[in-house]
Amino acid sequence: MINCIIIEDDRLAQESLCNLIKINFSKKLKIVGKAGTVKEGMDIIRQTSPDLLFLDIELPDDNGFSIYDSFPNPQFSVIFTTSSSDYAIPAIKHMAIDYLLKPISLIDLNAALVRFEKRQITPGDSFIN
């Protein structure tokens, strides 16, 4: 089971992503926390040690990159989620698995999870049908 956290300040976008995950990927992904700010997100990361973050970039108290930068050797992977394509280059430089534009489609989410899986090489946990 892949433990993930959703860090997203827009409640509607947060719930939409939660529902996509629960309906389509509940056998492989477990949401272990949700946050709406950088501070909350960092607290949950420290408490749960997730495998994967779905991380919004524009958050009320800072930007999502600051979360990633706070962990010099992160043990988690990041899929950035945002409404703007303006941050794509910095996301690539932060070694993001993917960069999903909101509203997030099932096709894009599945493709991002396949990329995550390929980096993890976990036998028996394929998102590829």
pLDDT digits (tens, 9 = 90+) for 3-13: 999 999 999 99
pLDDT band at 95 (very low <50, low <70, confident <90, very high): confident
Peptide bond before residue 60 is cis, with ω within 30 degrees of 0: no
29-75 pLDDT, tens digit each: 999 999 999 999 999 999 999 999 999 999 999 998 999 888 888 89
CA dist list (Å): 50 to 6, 14, 29, 107:
10, 17, 11, 23
The strand pairing partners of 98, in sequence order, are 79
- Cα dihedral value 118, 69, 48, 40, nearest 10: -130
13-36 pLDDT, tens digit each: 999 999 999 999 999 999 999 999
Q: For the whole model, what pTM was predicted?
A: 0.89
Domains of the chain: 2-9+24-120 (3.40.50.2300)
For residue 113 the two structure tokens come to 């999870």
The pLDDT score that the predictor gives to residue 54 is 97
For residue 26 the two structure tokens come to 């509940």
Sign of CA dihedral 68, 72, 70, 11: positive
